[in-house]
Amino acid sequence: MIKGGKGGEKTITGLHFEKNVSFIAKFKNINGYSIKEIKRGKSKSKSHELYYEKNLVAEVYQKDSFYWLLENKGVHWKDYIVAP
């Protein structure tokens, strides 16, 4: 990370990348995979569960929903990083 730099999601090329490249979207057209959007706590960001042949294989957290995961697992993340 560049000191004083901007996050990739706030630059023109970063916005283009974020708009066109979605990890979870890559699985939508692969046979055997299904995706379920889920609500995690008070987070406004999307979270997803990724299933393969009806078995949960991954949970995908975006933006502030990741902090929900950390808190749910008992990690005191505010002691280590600055909130967004």
Rounded CA separation 26/19 (Å): 13
1 — pLDDT class (breaks 50, 70, 90): very low
> pLDDT tens digits for 40-77?
777 677 789 999 999 999 998 887 788 888 888 899 88
Q: Is the pTM of this model over 0.75?
A: no
Q: Please classify residue 80 by burial: count the beta carbons closer than 10 Å to its beta carbon, then call 0-12 exposed, 13-18 middle and 19+ buried.
A: exposed
